Chains A and B, each alone.
Chain A
Amino acid sequence: MNKLHVAEMDEIAARHPEIFHRSFWSRFRVPLIVLGAVLYGVYCWWFFAVGAVLANANWSLAGTYLADWVSYEVRPEIRMDGHGTMQIVYPRFSPLGDNPNPDWLVAERETVTRTIETPAAARPAAPKSTTSFMAPGAALGGSAAAATGAPATETRSEEVVTRAEIAMGRSTHIEVLPGEVTVQHGGESLRATMSDGKVVPETGPLPRWAVQKRPGEKIILSFGMAGWAEIDATEVSIRKRFLGWANFIFDTRSPFFGRPAADVFALIAWGERIDPQRSNLSLAWNNILYNSEWQHLDVWTKLLQTIVMAFVGTVLATLVAFPLAFVAARNIARNRFFNQLTKRFFDFQRSVDMLIWALFFTRAFGPGPLAGMSAIFFTDTGTLGKLYSEALENIDDKQREGVKSVGAPSVAVQRFGVLPQVLPVFASQALYFWESNTRSATIIGAVGAGGIGLKLWEAMRTNSDWENVAYMVVLILIVVFIFDGISNALRSRLIGRSHH
């Protein structure tokens, strides 16, 4: 190929000045826009104090919360009772039920008989946190009665634990003896003694997975996904993490709890009635629906409310927007005043945020799906009406003229001259809104307008029910995907696959 001479190149440049001498704006438009966006980003970084917020964020919580989505913890506590013995205590709502005896916790027990002198000492393992939390009255009553009693000696025999061994993972073991804890993790080991309210590590510097903030204070051990443990002066708290959702089908109060699946099926199919009032099947179903941790019935009802809100809101909006769009379209209703009135009405409904409608209707109807449905209905009437009237204004006039020319009345002109052109577009847009409302109805619910939104929000507020959040999110995703599929299939039938 020949090389161009300089003169030829100049000539080409002179012939196409619009390419070689573009204006400043057209040459630097893209970098300028990007620069503007970056500068705006810097401004927002300052405005939202992003740096400070990120620095103060509780990132260790993030890991725990995320792990909570798909796993649960079992939390035994091994308490030193001051007599060279120990007790194993589970919180009241342990996922293992009222009588947990897991095989990963091996305890050596023996029965001791001892004489107890004062009432205060008679309650060596006075429940201080989780156990007393739910029944404060009972605990208080008990200790009050004991405190007023005369100091007397009492002999009682009780079962105590002298040694406990916990298998946290393949390479992680915790051995608890009275006043002494030995931990093996990842080939390293740690021995700590507890005495006089102090925890003292005995094996030199602490390994990486153990943290003691100040000498003598509690030691926190973290084993990653296997869980963590805390060695305090008087107790060792174990948090062993298990993958999965605990008690998803039957909660711990159910008679079916803890049985293997085959056993449950056998019981339902031909077992003796557990509750003489009703069959085992209905009992099991009832237990599932009213599972106290997962609240299946409530979650499903709320989810159905969300679906119903989106569906009814969209259908009603379509029904109202449809006739109004004919009034608003310039080429159909030849009345400037009514055109403008309807169009401004649509604009008004669109521009009042869905949030405002939702809050107002929550006040009018009380919390529930009626409020959310009305909010969606009001907002979408405006948007659909605007879209419909624009579609009507863009129709081909020839069909109308044809129908008019044979002397058809006005209604017939609309029915046979206009409707066949716009109906597929109308239906497709309504389906589209149905689909997108199914997605957005969740968040409307969070302000009280019914549906699963509020339930989600409440579950998140406690910061301990993330597994319930995960369950609801999975349900929502399934529903959204199914409805997306239905809506896409119907729409591609209506208007062809080319334009979604």
Chain B
Amino acid sequence: MAANTLPKDFSESGALIERHWQELAARRRVYSWLGLSLLVLALGGSLWFANETNAGKFFDRLPYLFDFVGDIIPRDGSEIFRALFDLPSPYDDGSFKYNYPEGRLYVTDSLYVPEYFYKMLETLNIAIFSTIVGTAIGFALCFLASRNLMPNWFVRGFVRRTMEILRAFPEVVLAGFFLAILSLGPLPAVIAVSIHTIGALGKLFFEVVENADMKAEEGLRAVGASWIERVWFAIVPQVLPNFISYFLLRLEINVRASTIIGAVGGGGIGELLRLSIGQNHEAKTLAIVLLLFCTIVAVDQLSAWARRRLVGDQAFQLAQ
């Protein structure tokens, strides 16, 4: 192109354009550097603050960073599987460290479910059940929050603010509050995760609904359908694949969330993991980590497969 090979001899308007461009470029560069240095400053300050308020200092602890790896190596490799399947250990000395068979949960006289599998099932059930509950309520609420179906701004705003608060409310507080009322057990975790799910899924759902094609709805409106009929026959068939995809995505997140909630008193495998790490039970820790890892991989793969079948590759934008 001729213009690119003409660095000097500009016409008057050409020079103006060149100057303008250079100004813009310079301003852009200044903004970039400003933003970058702000980020570096914030990062440095944050790191300093974190190090300052931590119990152990980073550089003091760094040489010992991998000590815990030594702490979690069991006496022999098959110990992990004995712990996992509740088989008796040859090192059994009566302590809690090697008492694997004591966790057995007998179904019949000879058939038992190993403790960790049962606890993992509990955690999975917490995740699945609360995802279903959250989806059901979020589904009911999302149509009230979307602009195209709920013209009343007050109802819409109210439902949206409620969802925002449910989403942002710390799960640990919900769990703790219900733990105080319901006493120990998995139910507080279920309630906490469900409430969070309502808020998180409700938001995603109403965004999908707002992007739905309204022609079907107009057609139904023209023949005099009620609001519920319009939603059910015009909107729901359009958005259902996306809803199911979000449901599966949320399920993945909730499996992780219910593990963590378990660790702070909600029962399930998380609690056992926290205890066994705290008490230096190497084989038990590794068994739980292994089980958790396999479960999460399996859930992720299953959900990814189902989502790909449902909505194709566009399902892979992460959302929480």
A pairs with B: yes
Interface residues of A in 368-420 (CB under 8 A from B): 368-371, 373, 383, 387, 390
B233 CB within 8 Å of chain A: no
Report the stretch among A273-281, A303-311, A334-342 that lies at the interface: A303-311
A59 CA to B177 CA, complexed, in Å: 12
A456 CA to B192 CA, complexed, in Å: 15
Query: Given A53-B183, A368-B56, A370-B61, 13 other A-B contacts at CB below 8 A?
Result: A44-B125, A351-B293, A352-B289, A353-B296, A355-B260, A364-B67, A365-B61, A367-B54, A369-B54, A446-B263, A446-B264, A450-B53, A457-B172
CB-based contact A443/B264 at 8 Å: yes
CB-based contact A473/B169 at 8 Å: yes
CB-based contact B54/A366 at 8 Å: yes
Given contacts A353-B260, A355-B256, contact A473 B173 (CB under 8 A): yes
Q: Which of B49, B170, B256 gathers the greatest number of chain A CB atoms within 10 Å?
A: B170
Please give, as numbers and ranges, the residues of chain A lying within 8 Å of B183 by CB-CB distance: 53, 56-58
CB-based contact A443/B273 at 8 Å: no
A24 CB within 8 Å of chain B: no
**Chain A residue, CB-CB nearest to B50:** A369
Residue-wise interface mask of B (41-80) relative to A, using a CB-CB cutoff of 8 A (1 in contact, 0 not) = 0110011011101111010010011111001000000000
* B-binding residues in A (CB < 8 A): 37, 40-41, 44, 47-50, 53-54, 56-59, 61-62, 65, 301, 304-305, 308-309, 311-312, 315, 347, 350-356, 359-360, 363-371, 373, 383, 387, 390, 429, 432, 436, 439-440, 442-444, 446-447, 450, 453, 456-457, 460-461, 463, 469, 473, 476-477, 480-481, 484, 500
CB-based contact A443/B261 at 8 Å: yes
Q: Provide 17 A-B residue pairs closer than 8 Å at the C-beta atoms, listed in order of the A residue.
A: A48-B125, A48-B190, A57-B181, A58-B181, A351-B296, A356-B292, A363-B68, A365-B55, A366-B54, A370-B61, A383-B318, A429-B318, A442-B171, A444-B260, A453-B172, A456-B172, A473-B169
**In whole Å, how far is B160's beta carbon from the nearest beta carbon of chain A?**
13
Please give, as numbers and ranges, the residues of chain A lying within 8 Å of B297 by CB-CB distance: 347, 351
A443 CA to B274 CA, complexed, in Å: 14
**In whole Å, how far is A60's beta carbon from the nearest beta carbon of chain B?**
10
> Out of B50, B133, B257, B277, which one reaches A360, CB within 8 Å?
B277
Interface residues of B in 153-176 (CB under 8 A from A): 164-165, 167-173, 176
CB-based contact B46/A443 at 8 Å: no
> Out of B125, B257, B260, B263, which one reaches A47, CB within 8 Å?
B125
**Chain B residue, CB-CB nearest to A309:** B50
A221 CA to B215 CA, complexed, in Å: 62
**In whole Å, how far is A181's beta carbon from the nearest beta carbon of chain B?**
32
A232 CA to B144 CA, complexed, in Å: 53
**Chain B residue, CB-CB nearest to A444:** B260
**Chain B residue, CB-CB nearest to A429:** B318
Please give, as numbers and ranges, the residues of chain A lying within 8 Å of B50 by CB-CB distance: 305, 308-309, 312, 368-370, 373, 450
A308 CA to B167 CA, complexed, in Å: 21
CB-based contact A40/B56 at 8 Å: no
* A-binding residues in B (CB < 8 A): 39, 42-43, 46-47, 49-51, 53-56, 58, 61, 64-68, 71, 122, 125, 128-129, 132-133, 136, 164-165, 167-173, 176-177, 179-183, 185-187, 190, 207, 256-257, 259-261, 263-264, 270, 273-274, 277, 289, 292-293, 296-297, 300, 316, 318, 320
CB-based contact B168/A353 at 8 Å: no
Please give, as numbers and ranges, the residues of chain A lying within 8 Å of B176 by CB-CB distance: 456-457, 460-461, 469
**In whole Å, how far is B210's beta carbon from the nearest beta carbon of chain A?**
11
> Out of B54, B181, B182, which one reaches A365, CB within 8 Å?
B54
CB-based contact B171/A443 at 8 Å: yes
> Out of B64, B181, B316, which one reaches A390, CB within 8 Å?
B316
CB-based contact A315/B39 at 8 Å: yes
**Chain A residue, CB-CB nearest to B298:** A351
CB-based contact B260/A443 at 8 Å: yes
Q: Give 7 closest A-B pairs by Cβ, nearest first.
A: A368-B54, A366-B55, A366-B56, A460-B176, A369-B50, A480-B168, A308-B46
**In whole Å, how far is B242's beta carbon from the nearest beta carbon of chain A?**
13
CB-based contact A359/B296 at 8 Å: no
A368 CA to B180 CA, complexed, in Å: 26
Please give, as numbers and ranges, the residues of chain A lying within 8 Å of B274 by CB-CB distance: 355, 359, 447
Please give, as numbers and ranges, the residues of chain B lying within 8 Å of A473 by CB-CB distance: 169-170, 173
Please give, as numbers and ranges, the residues of chain B lying within 8 Å of A368 by CB-CB distance: 50, 53-56
CB-based contact B318/A432 at 8 Å: yes
**In whole Å, how far is B218's beta carbon from the nearest beta carbon of chain A?**
20
**In whole Å, how far is A460's beta carbon from the nearest beta carbon of chain B?**
4
CB-based contact A301/B68 at 8 Å: no
CB-based contact A61/B172 at 8 Å: no
**In whole Å, how far is B44's beta carbon from the nearest beta carbon of chain A?**
10
CB-based contact B170/A48 at 8 Å: no
CB-based contact B170/A443 at 8 Å: yes
Given contacts A347-B297, A456-B170, contact A48 B181 (CB under 8 A): no
Given contacts A48-B125, A370-B54, A500-B207, contact A436 B320 (CB under 8 A): yes
Please give, as numbers and ranges, the residues of chain B lying within 8 Å of A315 by CB-CB distance: 39, 43
> Out of A352, A355, A383, A476, which one reaches B270, CB within 8 Å?
A355
CB-based contact B53/A41 at 8 Å: no
**Chain A residue, CB-CB nearest to B42:** A311
Please give, as numbers and ranges, the residues of chain A lying within 8 Å of B51 by CB-CB distance: 370
Q: Which of B43, B49, B71, B173 gathers the greatest number of chain A CB atoms within 10 Å?
A: B173
A308 CA to B44 CA, complexed, in Å: 11
> Out of B67, B185, B207, B263, which one reaches A447, CB within 8 Å?
B263
Please give, as numbers and ranges, the residues of chain A lying within 8 Å of B42 by CB-CB distance: 311
Given contacts A352-B289, A368-B56, contact A477 B172 (CB under 8 A): no
Q: Which of A356, A368, A371, A447 gathers the greatest number of chain B CB atoms within 10 Å?
A: A356
A351 CA to B179 CA, complexed, in Å: 28
CB-based contact B128/A40 at 8 Å: yes
A397 CA to B176 CA, complexed, in Å: 52
Please give, as numbers and ranges, the residues of chain A lying within 8 Å of B128 by CB-CB distance: 40, 44
Please give, as numbers and ranges, the residues of chain A lying within 8 Å of B293 by CB-CB distance: 351-352
A429 CA to B66 CA, complexed, in Å: 31
CB-based contact A65/B260 at 8 Å: no
A369 CA to B293 CA, complexed, in Å: 25
**In whole Å, how far is B224's beta carbon from the nearest beta carbon of chain A?**
15
Given contacts A47-B125, A477-B169, contact A359 B54 (CB under 8 A): no
**In whole Å, how far is B280's beta carbon from the nearest beta carbon of chain A?**
10
CB-based contact B53/A62 at 8 Å: no
CB-based contact B55/A59 at 8 Å: no
CB-based contact A41/B132 at 8 Å: yes
Please give, as numbers and ranges, the residues of chain B lying within 8 Å of A351 by CB-CB distance: 293, 296-297, 300
**Chain B residue, CB-CB nearest to A478:** B168
A48 CA to B164 CA, complexed, in Å: 28
A359 CA to B66 CA, complexed, in Å: 13
CB-based contact A301/B53 at 8 Å: yes
Please give, as numbers and ranges, the residues of chain B lying within 8 Å of A53 by CB-CB distance: 182-183, 185, 187
CB-based contact B259/A355 at 8 Å: yes
**In whole Å, how far is B45's beta carbon from the nearest beta carbon of chain A?**
9
**In whole Å, how far is A485's beta carbon from the nearest beta carbon of chain B?**
11
> Out of B171, B182, B270, which one reaches A57, CB within 8 Å?
B182
A377 CA to B126 CA, complexed, in Å: 26
